[in-house]
Structure formats: structure tokens, C-alpha cells
């Protein structure tokens, strides 16, 4: 029996390692050439401290209170030199990946599908090379090099982890470099280089109602999360509010319907900004967060979209005094201008 441990480093890099039954995370990492911080490896110094976000494990009782206090343990802090997982786990490691002599993975693939779903969005599917390992947490993103050497762009996976075909939902930005490649040059068979996975915007264990807020192609990470949830199931209510600027920017509604059918606790609503729209819900996602989806703040909120939309939602929560149990967000911040480091 082996468990998959996601190690999330401070610089946003995630490395996945296998951990054998009875093995400590520190030993498993070392075996796979990831040198996690350590000093004593005996539960004495506290150097290997991290935070376990998900998963079951045993810490034993051999470590010292000075290395990990009861209070820290109750908050989910762990000593990786003592921690023996009994399920898959996600651990935050409070140092950069380079300090652990590991780095972000590089993967090659072949463009399998490029389809303009609307004036505003493009679907891209990449078949990863045979043997290329691509583990990620639903919600995370990857860098895709722009063919022709113009740097890279970041894209959230819309597919679930573990598939050889990775998919992405990409906004078509007039005069955008990647947008230009995808709409004018890209063809099936093109080779693409990807680097990742990255990011701390990923689905945590669901223990209370969830509110998902998506703006435009910010829907992508939610499709990935919902793919996984549809497989695993959940008893908790989950509601997605998906906002776009114009009617024909609404895409993947059939996929959302399919998720709602598979996941009885999942509901969603769509919102359109355009004043000329005949859509039943108009305005911004913040106009449609009814009390029944806010559960008096006893919710985990996931928010993703372009920076102005994310900022507006954060401001709204603040102004209304809504304090959710947890708040996770991803801003689709544009790349630096060509010439700047990217």
C-alpha cells in the first residue's frame, strides 16, 4: 500500500511523492530526492515542521513538546520526520522548493483539440507524452510555453488529475500572444511544453457547505474540482455562481448540468453583466449571493476570475461583514509585458 503525498512549497511549486505503509513523510521524500528541511530527524528540533491540510496520519508520541506543541498539533501542524500517513495527504512545506533540491516538473505534450467555444473562450486539450507524470490538485494551474519562444502563460486545469489528456479553458484576448497563437496558428499535432503544477488554489476536504464563484474562464478550475467531486461524491451543499459579460460567453453549461445530475448536492446559477441581455439573472455574481448559499458564513468560499472581479467580490464580502470559515481565491493576473521577466 502506498499513499500519494502532495508537498506544497512556499514558492507555489507542488511535488507529489509516494509514501509506503509505515514510512515517515521525511523518509519517503528523501527516497524520492526531495530533501525536506530536517535536523535531528528524531522529533526533537522542530526543523521539519509543516502543516497538513488534508489526510489521515499518525504522529506517534515520541516527539518533544518543544518540537511540536499540543496547540500546534491541534491546528494541523506536523513534524514530517514523525508523520506516518494512513491516507493520501496534502502538506504545506514552509520553504521554497529550491531549498529542498527539488523543482517544478517539465512535461511535453501534443495539442489534441483547439476549439473556439465562444467569441471569448477557447478550449485547449493536450495529450501528455506517454510516461509523463502529471499529478496535480484540482484547482491548480500550469505554465504553458507560447510556441515560438515568447515566454509562457499560466492556465488552470479544467480536467481532473490523472488523465493523459489535460484540458484548459482560455480567454481569447484580442492581440494577446497566446490568444493569437491559439486562434490563428495552433493545429492538432503541435508540440507544447508545460511546467508545473503550481498554486495554492485547490479544493480542500469538504466538511461544510461550499460556495464557488467563477468569472469568465475562471470557471476552469471549478470544472476540474467538480470532475473529481462527481467521482468521489459529497453530502455537503455546493453552489456555483458563474458570471460572464455577455450571453454568448456562457460556456460549458452542459457540463455543469451533468455535474448537477451526478452530484445531488450541487447546484449552480449563471449571471450576465450585459444590460441588453434577456438573461433571468443580470449584474455581477455579488448581486446573486442569497442567504441560502451563504449559510450565515459557515461556508468555504472558492473564487476565481480576472483581477477586477476577484477584487470586487473580496470588497463585497468585507463591506457586508461576511466572514466565511475559509476563503480561497485565484486571480488570473495577466503576464508581464514582453521583455520583462516572466
Ligand X SMILES: Cc1cc2nc3c(=O)[nH]c(=O)nc-3n(C[C@H](O)[C@H](O)[C@H](O)COP(=O)(O)OP(=O)(O)OC[C@H]3O[C@@H](n4cnc5c(N)ncnc54)[C@H](O)[C@@H]3O)c2cc1C
Residue ranges binding ligand X (CB under 6 A) = 141, 153-156, 168-171, 173, 175-179, 199, 217, 220, 306, 330, 332-335
Stretch that binds ligand FES, among 37-45, 124-132, 228-236, 287-295 (CB under 6 A): 37-45
Q: Which is nearer to ligand FES, 34 or 67 (CB)?
A: 67
Q: Taking the complex as a whole, how short is the minimal distance between the CB of residue 330 and ligand X, in angstroms?
A: 6
CB of 263 to ligand X, least distance (A): 22
Question: 276 by DSSP, 3-state: which?
Answer: coil
Rule CB under 6 A: choose which of 10, 11, 39, 58 binds ligand FES.
39
Does 40 interact with ligand FES (rule: CB under 6 A)?
yes
> In this chain, which stretch among 42-50, 114-122, 236-244, 247-255 interacts with ligand FES, using CB under 6 A?
42-50
Torsion of CA 198, 142, 223, 306, to 10 degrees: 90
User: Which residues, other chains included, contact 246 with Cβ-Cβ below 8 Å and sequence gap of 6+?
Assistant: 119, 120, 272, 273, 274, 277
Give the integer Cα–Cα distance in Å for 140 and 114.
21
Check binding of 41 to ligand FES (CB under 6 A).
yes
Nearer to ligand FES (CB atom), residue 79 or residue 166: 79
Minimum CB separation from ligand X for residue 13, in Å? Answer: 13
CB of 317 to ligand FES, least distance (A): 38
Minimum CB distance to ligand X smaller for 86 or for 228: 228
Residue 135 DSSP one-character state: -
Binding of residue 73 to ligand FES (CB under 6 A): no
Q: Whole-number minimum distance, CB 240 to ligand X, in Å?
A: 16
Distance CA 17, CA 13 (A): 13
CA distances from 222 to 64, 80, 215, 266, 302 (A): 41, 31, 11, 12, 9
Applying CB under 6 A, which of residues 17, 45, 111, 134 lies at the interface with ligand FES? Answer: 45
**Shortest separation between residue 86's beta carbon and ligand X, angstroms:** 32
C-alpha cell at 77: 501542524
Residue 66 binds to ligand FES (criterion: CB under 6 A): no
Cell matching residue 248: 454568448
Residue 45 interacts with which of ligand X, ligand FES, none, CB < 5 to 8 Å by class: ligand FES
The binder of 141, among ligand X, ligand FES, none, by C-beta within 5 to 8 A per type, is ligand X
Q: Which is nearer to ligand X, 81 or 272 (CB)?
A: 272
41 is in the binding site of which of ligand FES, ligand X, none (Cβ under 5 to 8 A by kind)? ligand FES
Pick the closer one to ligand X by CB: 122 or 299: 122
Instruction: Return the one option of ligand FES, ligand X, none that residue 124 interacts with (CB less than 5 to 8 A, by type).
Output: none
Extract long-range pairs of 289-295: CB within 8 Å, 24+ residues apart. 289/211, 289/213, 289/241, 289/316, 293/209, 293/211, 293/239, 293/241, 294/211, 294/322, 295/208, 295/209, 295/237
Q: How far is the CB of 142 from ligand X (least distance, A)?
A: 9
Q: Retrieve residue 336's grid coordinates.
A: 508581464
With beta carbons less than 8 A apart as the criterion, state whether 23 and 30 touch. Answer: no
Which residues between 80 and 119 bind ligand FES (CB under 6 A)? 81
Rounded Cα gap, residues 329 and 215, in angstroms: 12
In the chain, the N- to C-terminal Cα span, in Å, equals: 41
Query: Which contacts of 292-295 are long-range, i.e. CB under 8 A and separated by 24 or more positions?
Result: 293/209, 293/211, 293/239, 293/241, 294/211, 294/322, 295/208, 295/209, 295/237
Residues near ligand FES (CB under 6 A): 38-41, 43-48, 67, 79, 81
Amino acid at each position: 500500500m502506498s499513499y500519494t503525498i502532495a508537498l506544497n512549497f512556499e514558492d507555489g511549486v507542488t511535488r507529489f511523492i509516494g509514501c509506503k505503509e509505515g514510512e515517515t513523510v521525511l523518509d519517503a521524500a528523501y527516497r524520492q530526492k526531495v530533501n525536506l528541511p530536517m535536523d535531528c530527524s528524531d522529533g526533537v528540533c522542530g526543523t521539519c515542521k509543516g502543516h497538513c491540510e488534508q489526510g489521515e496520519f499518525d504522529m506517534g508520541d515520541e516527539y518533544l513538546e518543544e518540537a511540536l506543541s499540543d496547540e500546534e498539533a491541534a491546528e494541523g501542524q506536523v513534524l514530517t520526520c514523525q508523520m506516518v500517513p494512513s491516507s493520501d495527504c496534502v502538506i504545506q512545506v514552509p520553504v521554497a522548493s529550491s531549498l529542498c533540491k527539488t523543482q517544478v516538473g517539465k512535461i511535453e505534450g501534443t495539442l489534441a483539440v483547439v476549439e473556439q467555444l465562444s467569441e471569448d473562450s477557447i478550449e485547449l486539450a493536450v495529450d501528455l507524452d506517454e510516461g509523463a507524470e502529471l499529478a496535480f490538485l484540482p484547482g491548480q494551474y500550469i505554465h504553458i510555453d507560447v510556441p515560438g519562444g515568447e515566454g509562457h502563460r499560466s492556465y488552470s486545469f479544467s480536467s481532473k488529475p490523472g488523465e493523459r489528456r489535460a484540458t484548459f479553458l482560455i480567454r481569447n484576448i484580442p492581440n494577446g500572444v497566446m490568444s493569437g497563437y491559439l486562434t490563428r496558428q495552433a493545429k492538432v499535432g503541435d508540440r507544447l511544453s508545460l511546467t508545473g503544477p503550481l498554486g495554492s488554489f485547490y479544493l480542500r476536504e469538504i466538511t461544510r457547505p461550499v460556495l464557488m464563484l467563477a468569472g469568465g474562464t475562471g470557471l476552469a478550475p471549478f470544472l476540474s474540482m467538480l470532475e473529481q467531486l462527481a467521482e468521489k461524491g459529497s453530502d455537503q451543499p455546493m453552489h456555483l455562481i458563474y458570471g460572464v459579460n455577455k450571453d454568448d460567453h456562457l460556456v460549458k453549461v452542459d457540463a455543469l448540468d451533468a455535474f448537477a445530475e451526478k452530484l445531488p448536492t450541487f447546484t449552480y446559477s449563471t449571471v450576465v453583466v450585459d444590460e441588453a441581455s434577456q438573461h433571468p439573472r443580470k449584474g455581477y455574481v455579488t448581486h446573486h449571493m442569497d442567504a441560502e448559499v451563504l449559510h450565515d458564513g459557515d461556508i468555504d468560499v472558492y473564487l476565481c476570475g480576472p483581477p477586477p472581479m476577484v477584487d470586487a467580490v473580496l470588497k463585497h464580502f468585507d463591506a457586508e461583514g461576511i466572514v466565511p470559515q475559509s476563503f480561497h481565491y485565484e486571480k488570473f493576473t495577466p503576464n508581464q509585458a514582453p521583455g520583462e521577466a516572466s
